[in-house]
Amino acid sequence: MPNPLAVAAAVAGGGHAAGRCSAYKLALAALLAVALLQFVYLSLLAGLHGREQRRRYGQLFPGGAALGASLQRRAAESAKEQLRAVLAAGGALDASGDYRVYRHVLGDPSRRPRDALLLATHTSLSNLGHVGTLLERWAGPLAVAVFAARPDEAQLATVLTYALGALCTQAVRERLTMHLVCPARAEAAVPDPREPGEFARISSCSDVFTSMGARSRSGRNYALATNVSYPNNLLRNVAREGAGHALVVDVDMVPSDGLWTGLLELLALGEGRAGRALVVPAFEIRQGVRVPRTKIELMRFLKMGHVRPFYAELCPRCQAPTNYSRWLTLPPGGPLRPAYRVTWQDPWEPFYVAGGAVPSYDERFRQYGFNRISQACELHVAGYEFEVLNEAFLVHKGFKMPGDFHPQKEAENQRNKILFRQFKQELKMKYPDSPRRC
How is 249-300 classified by DSSP, letter by letter? --TTEEEPTTHHHHHHHHHHTTTT-TTEEEE--EEEE-TTSPPP-SHHHHHH
Of residues 80 and 299, the one with the higher pLDDT is 299
Return the pLDDT at 308. Answer: 98
Taking residues 17-38, what's their average pLDDT?
A: 54
- Does pLDDT of 45 surpass 60? no
Taking residues 368-374, what's their average pLDDT?
A: 92
Spatial contact of 369 and 417, defined as CB atoms under 8 Å apart: yes
CB atoms closer than 10 angstroms to residue 342: 18
Average per-residue pLDDT for the chain: 84
Return the pLDDT at 76. Answer: 77
Return the pLDDT at 319. Answer: 96
Lowest mean pLDDT: which of 17-21, 175-179, 262-266, 370-374? 17-21
Taking residues 395-424, what's their average pLDDT?
A: 88
Taking residues 412-435, what's their average pLDDT?
A: 96
Q: How far apart are CA 29 and CA 23, in angstroms?
A: 10
Spatial contact of 221 and 126, defined as CB atoms under 8 Å apart: no
Return the pLDDT at 58. Answer: 36
Taking residues 54-65, what's their average pLDDT?
A: 38
Of residues 390 and 201, the one with the higher pLDDT is 390
- Does pLDDT of 38 surpass 60? no
Return the pLDDT at 64. Answer: 45
DSSP state of 354: E
Return the pLDDT at 114. Answer: 76
Return the pLDDT at 211. Answer: 87
Return the pLDDT at 403. Answer: 72
Of residues 303 and 220, the one with the higher pLDDT is 303
β-pair partners for 21: none
Q: How far apart are CA 354 and CA 345, in angstroms?
A: 19
Of residues 60 and 124, the one with the higher pLDDT is 124
Percent of the chain residues past pLDDT 90, beyond the cut:
59
- Does pLDDT of 166 surpass 80? yes
- Does pLDDT of 23 surpass 60? no
- Strand ranges inside 46-192, DSSP E: 92-93, 99-106, 117-124, 142-147, 176-183
Return the pLDDT at 43. Answer: 39
β-pair partners for 121: 144
Q: How far apart are CA 39 and CA 144, in angstroms?
A: 51
Q: What angle do CA 369, 373, 378 make, to 5 degrees?
A: 135
CB within 8 Å of 431: residues ≥ 6 apart: 381, 382
In the three-class reduction of DSSP (H, G, I as helix; E, B as strand; rest coil), residue 319 is classed as coil
Of residues 112 and 372, the one with the higher pLDDT is 372
Q: How far apart are CA 250 and CA 262, in angstroms?
A: 21
Q: How far apart are CA 433 and CA 428, in angstroms?
A: 8
For 231-265, what is each residue's pLDDT tens digit? 999 999 999 998 999 999 999 999 999 999 999 99
Q: Looking at this protein, which amino acid is placed at residue 2?
A: P
pLDDT band at 59 (very low <50, low <70, confident <90, very high): very low
Kindly report the pTM of this predicted structure.
0.81
Cα 173 to Cα 76, 111, 427: the distances in Å are 11, 11, 40
pLDDT band at 29 (very low <50, low <70, confident <90, very high): low
Cα 242 to Cα 114, 164, 272: the distances in Å are 7, 22, 16
Q: How far apart are CA 89 and CA 304, in angstroms?
A: 53
